Amino acid sequence: MRIAVLREGAPGELRVALVPENVTRLVKQGHEVRVERGAGEAAGFPDAAYTAAGAQVGDAAAALDGARVVAAVQRPSEAQVERLPPGALLVGLLAPHAAGPLLERLAARGVDAMAMEKVPRTTRAQSMDALSSQATLAGYKAVLLGASALPRILPMMTTAAGTLAPAKAFVVGAGVAGLQAIATARRLGAVVSAFDVRPVVKEQVQSLGAAFVEVPAVAAEGTGGYAKELGQSEQERVLAAIAGHVKDMDLVITTAQIPGRPAPRLITADMVRSMRPGSVVVDLAAETGGNCELTRAGETVVDAGVSVIGAVNLPSTVPFHASQMYGRNVVTLLAHLFKDGKADLDAQEEIAAAMLVVHGGKVRA
Ligand code: NAD
């Protein structure tokens, strides 16, 4: 089976869908891998490394010629879609809820598509779960961004020039990204607290050495391990608890999301203004509307001396490891979908059925 890797076209996207070690594995499994020239350059994987791993490196047309699978990180551009071979399967983070026209074009072209966002969140599919692999890196990087924007250091330091108190960090939303943010902030020496609406998370937060901010009678466990939206009285209690806590924080990292919904609003403008000047909010939910009222995606807003960083696509800021993890997710998925080198896809199979957003000329999302 022939597998193609294209150069990502989205602005600021530095990741690549497969790295050389993935190529080695796929070639060993009997596949042929073709890579567009320069596809891995920005992530630290030169063309020569792909060639050494057994891939053929060439222009986009050569990479796509006869491809059964096209592996991508983000959605392809319109021009790229027009070059996809009919009958191929496109695999990528396609953001299917907001990709209507793209999916229609793919269907019209006879290209099937699988959204990596739709990997079922089951134990069996864990090693294919790109949302988790990328969120882990986003959580890590959010703390580094926040730490470098702060006018103070994170750890306690006892020196001849006096003792410096550790910074206080608060993580809102303790899912995959939030737990990694907690672990990273702890490693850097901050005193960390966290809040989530899923009570099951409390133990995980505490096991990382952070304090859990309790809000009595709030429990919004949805399906598949996700949260659901809060009712109005719950939301009021949550906001009151956060308002009481946040004013004493130096660094706030927000990661709260509800699948398919705008991000819940949890940090109001007044809360930001109650924080000490110099404090920092890093909003990982910026792309879905933001957890903070002042967030602007891709920008840093400074209000009353507090910086609100609307972080977007943080995994792409660590493209080497983000690509390595994403590539492993893709390779595991392909090994699952195409067993024993067969190029046929069983669209009824559980994982394929959950992920296929275009199949047989029809949009399914
Ligand atoms: P996510 O990105 O959808 O949400 C991030 C966090 O925000 C979640 O922990 C959620 O509870 C929290 N949140 C939502 N509304 C909130 C609010 N109003 N206030 C505070 N917090 C709020 O979720 P995620 O991090 O991708 O995954 C969440 C959970 O799903 C994981 O912790 C895990 O339990 C489960 N999961 C399971 C698997 C698997 O089994 N393979 C894989 C990934 C995740």
Q: Is residue 127 part of a domain?
A: no
Average pLDDT, stretch 232-252?
Answer: 95
Ligand 1 pocket member 239 (CB < 6 A)? no
For the stretch 100-109, pLDDT in tens is: 899 999 999 9
Ligand 1 pocket member 197 (CB < 6 A)? yes
The pLDDT value recorded for residue 218 is 81
Nearest CA to ligand 1 atom 36: 225
Ligand 1 pocket member 127 (CB < 6 A)? no
Q: Is residue 125 part of a domain?
A: no
Nearest CA to ligand 1 atom 8: 175
- Per-residue pLDDT at 315 exceeds 80: yes
pTM: 0.95
- Per-residue pLDDT at 169 exceeds 80: yes
Residues 145 and 271 in one domain: yes
Q: Which residue has the higher pLDDT, 232 or 89?
A: 89
Q: Number of folded domains in the chain?
A: 2
The pLDDT value recorded for residue 100 is 87
The pLDDT value recorded for residue 129 is 97
Ligand 1 pocket member 131 (CB < 6 A)? yes
The best mutation among 121, 136, 228, 238 to test binding of ligand 1, ranked by most ligand atoms within 8 Å of the C-beta, falls on: 121
Q: Is residue 129 part of a domain?
A: no
Residues 169 and 309 in one domain: yes
For the stretch 283-309, pLDDT in tens is: 999 999 999 999 999 999 999 999 999
Cβ partners under 8 Å of residue 38, min gap 6: 7, 47
Q: Is residue 128 part of a domain?
A: no
Strands 112-115 and 356-359: antiparallel
- Per-residue pLDDT at 189 exceeds 80: yes
Q: CA 56 to CA 50: how far, in whole Å?
A: 8
- Per-residue pLDDT at 141 exceeds 70: yes
Ligand 1 pocket member 132 (CB < 6 A)? yes
Q: Is residue 67 part of a domain?
A: yes
Nearest CA to ligand 1 atom 33: 225
Asked if residues 343 and 1 have their Cβ atoms less than 8 Å apart, the reply is yes
Average pLDDT, stretch 251-257?
Answer: 97
Residues 158 and 298 in one domain: yes
Ligand 1 pocket member 212 (CB < 6 A)? no
Residues 305 and 224 in one domain: yes
For the stretch 318-332, pLDDT in tens is: 999 999 999 999 999
- Per-residue pLDDT at 88 exceeds 80: yes
Which runs of consecutive H residues, i.e. helices, occur in the chain?
20-28, 47-52, 60-64, 78-83, 100-109, 130-149, 176-187, 201-207, 232-246, 269-274, 319-337, 350-355
The pLDDT value recorded for residue 77 is 93
The pLDDT value recorded for residue 322 is 98
Residues 326 and 273 in one domain: no
Q: Mean pLDDT, the chain, as a whole number? A: 95
The best mutation among 118, 176, 254 to test binding of ligand 1, ranked by most ligand atoms within 8 Å of the C-beta, falls on: 176
Residues 305 and 340 in one domain: no
The pLDDT value recorded for residue 365 is 64
- Per-residue pLDDT at 219 exceeds 90: no
Residues 296 and 334 in one domain: no
Q: Is residue 124 part of a domain?
A: no
The best mutation among 257, 284, 287 to test binding of ligand 1, ranked by most ligand atoms within 8 Å of the C-beta, falls on: 257
Residues 148 and 114 in one domain: no
The pLDDT value recorded for residue 231 is 86
Q: Give the type of residue at 96.
A: P
The pLDDT value recorded for residue 220 is 82
Q: CA 196 to CA 242: how far, in whole Å?
A: 11
Q: Is residue 123 part of a domain?
A: no
Q: Write the CATH number for 280.
A: 3.40.50.720
Nearest CA to ligand 1 atom 39: 121
Residues 276 and 355 in one domain: no
Distance between Cα 209 and ligand 1 center (Å): 19
Distance between Cα 311 and ligand 1 center (Å): 18
The pLDDT value recorded for residue 97 is 85
For the stretch 3-41, pLDDT in tens is: 999 999 999 999 999 999 999 999 999 999 999 999 999
Nearest CA to ligand 1 atom 4: 257
Question: Poorest-confidence range of 86-100, 103-117, 175-189?
Answer: 86-100
Q: Is residue 126 part of a domain?
A: no
Residues 310 and 161 in one domain: yes
For the stretch 33-64, pLDDT in tens is: 999 999 999 999 999 999 999 999 999 999 99
For the stretch 331-345, pLDDT in tens is: 999 999 998 777 889
Owning domain of residue 164: 136-316
Residues 96 and 145 in one domain: no
The pLDDT value recorded for residue 98 is 82
Q: CA 14 to CA 124: how far, in whole Å?
A: 29
Residues 149 and 279 in one domain: yes
Residues acting as catalytic residues: 121, 126, 129, 132, 226
The pLDDT value recorded for residue 198 is 92
